A and B are shown apart, each in its own frame.
Chain A
Amino acid sequence: MKRRAPSYSVSRVPHVLVAGALALFVSLFVPASLSGCQSGLDAPLPAASALDAPPKRGGILHLSSFGNIRGLDPANIADGLVSTLHQLLFAGLLDFDERGEVIPRLAERYETSQDGRSYRFFLRPGVLFHDGTELRADDVKRSIERALHPTAPNPFASFYAAIRGYDTFSKGKSEELAGVVVEGTYVVRIDLVEPDSTFLALFAMQVLRPVCKSGGRRYTDDFVPCGAGPFKLKEYVRGEQVTFARHEGYFEPGKPYLDGIVFTFGVNMSAARYKFQNGDLDTLRDLTAGDLLAFQSDPRWAPYGAYDRERQIMGEAMNTELPPFDNVEVRRAVVAAIDRSHYAKVKPATLRIANQPIPPGTPGFDPDLKGQEYDLPAALEHMKRAGYPYDPATKTGGYPHIIPYYTYRQGVSEYTAQVFQQEVAKIGIRLELRLVSYPTYLAQIGRRKKVPVGPWGWSEDYPDALDFLESLFHSKGIAEDDASNVSFYSSAELDRLVDDAKHELDPKRKKSLVSRAVEKILEDAPFAFAYSVRFYDIHQPYVRGVKAHPVWARNVSFVWLDRQKDARSAAFLRSPSPERTRGLASR
């Protein structure tokens, strides 16, 4: 007779034993995890010299991110992280100073023609690329044409459509970009088809920065990044790490101070914090909400952390071509129904309330503007005027149909969607949340007459209010697919104001036009502005010269290290690190 194999089910394990095993597990690991929690932050590693000590040369700065980059070619920028690295590798003819103003960098100076259609740049003689060759005007022209040629996968090319000849060049009908003219060894002129008040800011961005002759006349995927920035590429292990070494031929004497920089990708937040506290990383940006509060509330660490300026705006885009948001009164009702403080509660240390189209860190932001405000009685009145009166006491009336709201998992949109759903329920608008993947969301929201309402926002492409107004609200941003104006809002008056501001070179008159455009947007309410996201950077005390930059995140080009030789945590000394075995890790 065959014996039945004894089965061992969970129910046969006495619960007390499972509990015992669990207790063993917990007793082993929980004390360990608590010791590493917020309450147990290690002390900062001190600097060697006094605060007013002059900069020192030497040392390797270690940074990390949980994100990754696609590549290091300025003609193919499509992620937010890479600008930090481009700032090290590629210097531009123009750049931004610490107040966000455009300044000459590789150019000694520049001139603007009377009609604002022409810019002449005078290059500094003797500026060297990383390969030792001198930067000349024809390198500038070659680099611009390389980045704007139709074979380059440059997602920002059309931003430069104002350059004369762009139209034919971008269609492959001409081999040269007529508007970029070499006038001498060190002089290059850029002609525009019409005056453009945003051009200098656009030109100061990284897309058109000069690359070495090895970059060729046309974009190729195998370009080894080479520019005229303060650091040159030493090693790039794709998806893992990039290592920079000081560019000894950098045009500013004595700079940069660091021997090199190591940037590691894909480091999860807890690992990054451990590394930072061990002294394996010198700055930290990706923080869990708990860690962020711990660092901020610890008086030993608080002086070494700071928020970046907010340069993005987030909110709810209402499709003005679809009911009920084709009715301006409904849109006004939504705008007034939102108590924006509820959004901020989703992530209090990171989200800040926003109520106008320009974020606080972008030129054009008006701190005195009243903007969109929470006013429930006014919201109910707007619903009444729209023909959908709602009685909050009896919860009757309102818009009779359920409205689909598309959102996605990445970021905080999954949570802010629930806030929005509750806010508009107060005025009788019922939303059905549809959670889709980010790529699906992106494809749907930009498609005409597809999504009635959804989360949308804009991050600063270049520091100018018109970046936001033109992208989000100008009718040029409307397309059958891939619209940037996902409210599909079209107003001839707004278009005219934005266009006039773009062509207006007088700052005062431009400011006035921008203010009127903002007023028009607030009046027509195609968008409920809700919050902006801010990032917190913290560094060890021995990292000196750290200044939050209004345009470039983690601007570490000219920081220096002032570290005591024995200032390492005990764990750092014990811990083996693959990074430290790579080339530059010298400490």
Chain B
Amino acid sequence: MTMARTLARRLAHGLVVLFATVTLAFFLNEVVPSDPARMVAGAQARAEDVEKVRRELGTNKPLAQRYARFLRRLVHVASTKAAPDHATCAALGPLHLDLGKSYQKRRPVVDILAERAPRTIALAFTAVLVQALLGTALGLFAAKHRRTLKDRVTVGSSLVATSAPTFMTGLLLQLFFAKILGVLPLDGFGASFSDHVASIVLPSLTLGLYGAALYTRISRDEMVTELGRDYVRTAKAKGAGPTAVMRHAFRNVLVPLVTLVGLDLGALVSGAAVTETLFRWPGLGSLAVEALLDRDGPVLMGTVLVTCLGVVLSSIFVDLSVHWLDPRARNEEPARGS
């Protein structure tokens, strides 16, 4: 199958998944017995004030009407953004994306997402980078020294790191690097690029340490398998050195690792709520949690949409990468084990 056909098929599947997820999320959010207007007005607001807010938000209208409105404006074509009806739109030429206005923040959801998503994507990429590099390096180290003390200590340590909840790792990193050593900021996002870089280190490390263990385990096991294969024996017989052998075998370990990277990216784009909250990193995770707690429907739908899009795109990335890395996949043969 050609790359283009694979891509087209995956995109079509992705669109169906996107539509189904967003629809399901919309109805799930609506059937939960709670009232967004009450959350906006506050626990002590009087009934008449809550009713006023309800009318203003439009949550007093029937469910079907609200869903129809949501779908109608989600993606639409318009000639201008100046009209009041399009004040909450993001325009890509004549194509408009509109998720409405946040009940709580009273800003267009597309603006909020545009502000938050790049921060979460940056955190996701750096965290996956830490996970993949650290985890794979440890995995290769363990594989090279398989069934020795070094192997066992490496794998054992990775188990400990992954067993610690992220908030605990994060608090300890804050204490050590920010409070005691004073070399990194405790939390925050900062105003300049250098601030952003300094501020992203600890949250990335927190997520990276947590996720690295899986890469260690997978890369080690896969590498041990590869090192036992015939082609490795042949290479050794032909006089290839240990580094050359490792490099040769590593190419075959890449496929599961790339798959894992793709899946992790998809998961992290939805935001790492605990880590973002702990480090005051203003991303999608903390936004989604806030929206959920406040029953801020438009923001919630926006985060669901972005998350779903992240997962779909990362899945496509995985498929295409495997397609490119593994010739067997290109010939529609089972990817592994045949």
List chain B residues, Cβ under 8 A from A458.
Answer: 44
Is B133 in contact with chain A by the CB < 8 A criterion?
Answer: no
Interface residues on chain A, number (Cβ under 8 Å): 80
The answer to whether B50 touches A482, judged by C-beta atoms less than 8 angstroms apart, is yes
Q: How far is the CB of B262 from chain A (nearest CB, A)?
A: 22
Q: For window 25-41 of chain A, which residues contact chain B by CB distance below 8 Å?
A: 25, 29, 32-33, 35-36
Contact at A275–B44, with CB atoms within 8 Å? no
State the Cβ distance, B286 to closest chain A Cβ, in Å.
Answer: 8
B288 at the interface (CB under 8 A from A): no
Q: Contacting A17 at CB < 8 Å: which of B35, B156, B217?
A: B156
Whole-angstrom CA separation of A267 from B192 in the bound complex: 20
Q: Which one, A154-162, A177-185, A198-206, A342-350, is touching chain B?
A: A154-162
Which residues in window 424-467 of A have CB below 8 A to B?
A: 437-440, 442-444, 446, 458-459, 461
Q: Which of A32, A155, A581 contacts B45 (CB 8 A)?
A: A155
Most chain B beta carbons < 10 A, residue from A76, A79, A582: A582
Are A239's CB and B282's CB within 8 A?
Answer: yes
- Output the least CB separation between B64 and chain A (Å): 21
Instruction: Please judge, given known A-B contacts A153-B106, A578-B191, whether A3 and B228 are in contact too, CB under 8 Å.
Output: yes
**Number of A-B residue pairs having CB atoms within 8 Å of each other in the complex:** 214
- Residues of B contacting A29 in the complex (Cβ-Cβ under 8 angstroms): 172, 175-176
**B-facing mask of A150-193, CB < 8 A → 1, else 0?**
11011111110000000000100000000000000000000000
A484 within 8 A of B: yes
Q: How far is the CA of A502 from the CA of B106 in the complex (A)?
A: 35
Whether B185 contacts A576 by the Cβ 8 Å rule is yes
Question: A181 to chain B: closest CB distance in Å?
Answer: 25
A479 lies within 8 A of B47 (CB): yes
Q: Is B153 interfacial (CB 8 A cutoff)?
A: yes
Please report the C-alpha to C-alpha distance between residue A5 and residue B219 in the assembled complex, in whole angstroms. 12
CA distance A482 to B179 in the complex (A): 46
Residues of A near B53 (CB, < 8 A) are 153, 155
Cβ-based interface call for A114 (8 A): no
A323 in the interface (beta carbon within 8 A): no
B49 and A155 contacting across the interface, CB-CB below 8 Å: yes
Residue of A nearest to B280 (CB): A266
Interface presence of B41 (CB below 8 A): yes
Set of chain A residues within 8 Å of B48, measured between Cβ atoms: 158
B242 within 8 A of A: no
Name A76-104 residues within 8 Å CB distance of B.
Answer: 76, 78-79
Tell which of A8-16, A51-59, A294-302, A515-523 binds the partner: A8-16
* Complex: A268 Cα to B202 Cα, angstroms: 15
B159: which A residues are within 8 A, CB to CB?
Answer: 10, 13, 18, 21
**Do residues A459 and B44 form an inter-chain contact, with CB atoms below 8 A?**
yes
Question: B157 on the interface (CB 8 Å rule)?
Answer: yes
Q: Which of B105, B187, B190, B222 has the most CB of A within 10 A?
A: B187
- 13 inter-chain pairs at a CB distance below 8 angstroms, sorted by A residue, are A2-B337, A70-B104, A153-B56, A238-B107, A266-B280, A439-B294, A442-B39, A471-B44, A482-B51, A574-B182, A581-B191, A581-B192, A581-B195
- Interface, chain B (partner A; CB < 8 A): 32-36, 38-53, 56, 101, 104-107, 149, 152-153, 155-157, 159-161, 164, 171-172, 174-176, 178-192, 195, 198-199, 217, 220-222, 224-225, 228-229, 277-278, 280, 282, 286, 290, 293-295, 337
With A575-B179, A579-B188 already in contact, 16 other A-B pairs whose C-beta atoms are closer than 8 Å:
A29-B172, A153-B56, A156-B45, A157-B52, A268-B278, A274-B175, A437-B293, A439-B34, A442-B39, A482-B47, A482-B50, A570-B182, A575-B185, A578-B185, A578-B199, A581-B191
Q: Give A contacts to B, CB under 8 Å.
A: 2-3, 5-8, 10, 13-14, 17-18, 20-22, 24-25, 29, 32-33, 35-36, 68, 70-71, 76, 78-79, 150-151, 153-159, 170, 221, 238-240, 264, 266-268, 270-271, 274-275, 278, 437-440, 442-444, 446, 458-459, 461, 471, 477, 479, 481-484, 570-579, 581-582
